[in-house]
Amino acid sequence: MPSADNSLGFVFCGGGPAALGPVIAAARKGRLDDLLDRGIALVEPGPIGPGGLAHYRISANSLGGPFLECLDGLSDSAPFAALRDLPETRRLRAHSDEHPPLSVVAPFLTRLGAVVSDLLAAHPRCTVVPEAVAAIELADDGVVVTTGSGRELTAERTVIATGGRPLSGFGTAGIVPGLDLLPHRDKVWHSESFIDARKPLPPVRGKAVVVGGSHSAWSVVHLLAPEADEITVIHRSGLRLFYNSPDEARADGYPFDPVLDVCPTNGRVNRYGGLRGRAHELARAALRLPGTGPAPARLVQVTDPAALEAAQRALAEADVIVMANGFEANLPPIHRTDGTPVSAAVGPTGTVVTAQGHLVDVHGTAHPRLLAYGLGAGLAPSAEVGGEPSYTRRADGVWLYQHDIGGIVLDELLHNVTTTGEIHA
């Protein structure tokens, strides 16, 4: 069906930081016309640009400066150049060397999104559709994206960047053999419920347990601290802290592997997996590294039977348990032309995609016409995106979407897809 009316190159589902990444990467590389001339429909029911970050009650895990780096290298004539002097930009720039509240980051991303939106609206082959995607049909020769109002958009490929949702089954998940949440499911919440202002805030009192060691986990520790009597953090592997260099990590007394924990591209320690900002400070204090104040939480690393017992006791005694095990992609329903569903594979770190962002289904087939990435479906670190070898989760972050990951997706989009779905450079 798509070949009959194949007027669009791509439908972008979602208009958050991940979806905007390839457009910004194209502008930085001088390839914007190449991309827009292919024809794009961007389908987003809300504001274009900030995505979920507009709703998080926490500070950024990145410094303010990297959010503004997307403006570097764009010529003065580019529409992006006008962003340099806006009040939203100046406010964020004042936090260049600090971790700004996300409420300061979001207005800048909204302005950035408005520029992208205007660019698309002004291009004869592009359009912005202020609706939600209701379904995606995958045919041999293209895709048909149906919006909430029933509008059908036919394209060669679709970019699915509709954010994330809690990994399914989080409330009853196993943490390690012999330790699972099933018996405690009535008091388990996902970290999203505390961080995302769109969700009703769960009641907090008494003893709290946070499961996980990520930014989300430590952000929840910060949010719980004023209310909870006692916080225990149950984690599996050692806490990973970010440092600008091995020397900085050594000076802080932080133990790390000089090969596996160091990014070969830029020499950072725990570049992707390392805690930054407030999460870094809280975890440092919990690890009792030199010069830190009172520990904000008791740590239980479940690596031996004694720790397992302590973890079981903490779970049983807890009034509230917060699971911070991450997200899977919030994909719209996808089906083939004959109605057969295309079910995405989901692993412990989220929805499975290839290094190029091709969605992988439960049968292990990668679909080049369905590009998926962003929260819950980050690309695995590769030579192109760098990262410490010990990092096994997903590369995820605004800077990456606008730079390395945006560049990978852009290259993918500017490849040709034949009618059999194979990609040719």
19 is a site residue for ligand FAD (CB under 6 A): yes
Which of 6, 29, 38, 46 binds ligand FAD (CB under 6 A)? It is 46
The whole-angstrom separation of Cα 10 and Cα 41 is: 7
Of 111, 74, 62, 118, nearest to 90 by C-alpha is 111
Q: Site for ligand FAD (CB under 6 A): how many residues?
A: 33
β-pairing, 207-211 with 320-323?
Answer: parallel
What six digits make up the tokens of 297?
């939480």
Choices 33-41, 55-63, 166-174, 220-228 (CB under 6 A): range interacting with ligand FAD? 55-63
Q: Which of residues 195-224 bind ligand FAD (CB under 6 A)?
A: 195, 216
Candidates 23, 43, 167, 385: give the one binding ligand FAD (CB under 6 A): 43
From 14-22, 76-84, 136-144, 333-341, give the range in contact with ligand FAD by CB under 6 A: 14-22
Comparing C-alpha atoms, which of 127, 1, 68 is closest to residue 403? 68
Report the 10 Å Cβ neighbour count for 83: 19
Q: For residues 200 and 191, what is the distance between their CA atoms, to the nearest angstrom?
A: 12
User: Is 165 in contact with 350 (CB distance < 8 Å)?
Assistant: no
DSSP 361-416: BTTS-EEEEEEE-STTSPBPP-TTT---TT--S-B--HHHHHTHHHHHHHHHHTSE
**Is 156 a residue that touches ligand FAD (CB under 6 A)?**
no
Alpha-carbon Rg for the chain in angstroms? 22
Residues of this chain, 375-404, that bind ligand FAD according to CB under 6 A: 375, 396-399
Q: Is 232 in the site for ligand FAD (CB under 6 A)?
A: no
Q: Is position 62 an interface residue for ligand FAD (rule: CB under 6 A)?
A: yes
Tell me which stretch binds ligand FAD (CB under 6 A): 17-25, 70-78, 117-125, 291-299.
Answer: 17-25
CA 138 distance to own-chain centroid: 25
Near ligand FAD by CB under 6 A, which window of 68-76, 157-165, 181-189, 302-310?
157-165
Q: Per rule CB under 6 A, is residue 17 in the interface with ligand FAD?
A: yes
Contact criterion met (CB below 8 Å) for 94 and 425? no
Tokens of 64: 């303010």
Q: How far is Cα 135 from Cα 290, in angstroms, rounded to an integer?
A: 53
Among 15, 166, 387, 406, indicate the residue that binds ligand FAD (CB under 6 A). 15
- What's the farthest any 2 CA atoms get from each other in the chain? 68
Cα atoms in the 13 Å half-sphere on the side-chain side of 94: 7
Q: Which of 60, 119, 249, 283 binds ligand FAD (CB under 6 A)?
A: 60
Confirm or reject binding of residue 159 to ligand FAD (CB under 6 A): no
Quick one: 8 or 314, whose CB is closer to ligand FAD? 8
**What character string, x for contact with ligand FAD (CB under 6 A) and - otherwise, covers 104-133?**
----------------------------xx
Residue 223 is classified by DSSP as: H
Q: Residue 163 interacts with ligand FAD (CB under 6 A)? A: yes
Q: Closer to ligand FAD at the Cβ: 314 or 353?
A: 353
Question: Least distance (Å) from ligand FAD to the CB of residue 169?
Answer: 18
Tokens of 24: 């910004």
Q: What span, in angstroms and rounded, lies between the C-alpha atoms of 271 and 261?
A: 8
Among 52, 213, 350, 406, binds ligand FAD (CB under 6 A): 52
Sole binder of ligand FAD in the list 9, 10, 11, 14 (CB under 6 A): 14
Considering only residues 350 to 379 of the shown chain, the ones binding ligand FAD according to CB under 6 A are 374-375
Angle, alpha carbons 284-286-289 (nearest 5°): 45
Reading the block at residue 119, the tokens are 């660019």
Determine the residue with CB nearest ligand FAD.
51
Q: Phi and psi at residue 14, in whole multiples of 5°?
A: 100, 150
- Binding of ligand FAD at residue 179 (CB under 6 A)? no
Q: Is 53 in the site for ligand FAD (CB under 6 A)?
A: yes
Q: Which residues bind ligand FAD (CB under 6 A)?
A: 13-19, 43-46, 51-53, 56, 60-62, 132-133, 161-163, 195, 216, 330, 332, 374-375, 396-399
